Amino acid sequence: MDKWICTACGYVYDPEVGDPDGGIAPGTRFEDIPDDWVCPLCGLGKDAFEKMS
């Protein structure tokens, strides 16, 4: 599964870890995260993230 990085603060969303504090279970693909989820560090939305290569 692809990792995604917040272009504003550098937070990396790793689907293997998820975001338990944000209610996102481990194993959740970035594409499957609800649209109202925000970066746990800076609070920006999913549109601030880019897929890491």
> How many CB atoms lie under 10 A from the CB of residue 42?
12
What domains are defined for the chain? 4-51 (2.20.28.10)
Residue 49: phi, psi to the nearest 5?
-100, 145
* Residues tagged in the binding site annotation: 6, 9, 39, 42
pLDDT for 49 equals: 98
pLDDT for 17 equals: 98
* Residues tagged in the binding site annotation for Fe cation: 6, 9, 39, 42
Q: Give the tens place of pLDDT for each residue, 4-52.
A: 999 999 999 999 999 999 999 999 999 999 999 999 999 999 999 999 9
Strand 49-51's sheet: what is its strand order? Answer: 12-13, 4-6, 49-51
Q: Is the pLDDT of residue 53 over 90?
A: no
pLDDT for 41 equals: 98
